[in-house]
Amino acid sequence: MNGKHYHDKLTEEEIQILIAKQQMKKADSNDLTKTAAGHYKEMENKLLEAKIPARIIALNMPAFKLMSSGLQKIRSKIVPATPKDFDDLEINGD
């Protein structure tokens, strides 16, 4: 992270940010009711609520633009493909 070497110890804030990124990816793949941007913003807000300074978040969190393609790739594996023929369309639920 930001010029750190692998042998340098991570700070508590950096660890919390890494955990938050993992939780965001998991939430984004499980909860399709929110957009990827919504999950990203929610993660930022949780980090701020955890009293992590905004400058630390900005230094250690990749911008949404850098993460969005990876998040969209995760989502595309979950969302069923659109059928080519609507006769094959199957709707489940109420």
Separation CA 4–CA 28 (nearest Å): 28
Total-model pTM: 0.68
Give the pLDDT of residue 84: 74
Taking the domains of the chain in order of start, what are their residue ranges? Answer: 34-76
Q: What is the band of 94 on the pLDDT scale with cuts at 50, 70, 90?
A: low
Residue with the two structure tokens 């999950």? 39
Residue 36 half-sphere exposure toward CB, CA atoms < 13 A: 17
Which amino acid does the sequence have at 11? T
38-92 pLDDT per residue, tens: 989 999 999 999 999 999 999 988 888 888 888 888 777 777 777 777 776 677 7
Q: Is the dihedral of CA 77, 79, 80, 81 positive or negative?
A: negative
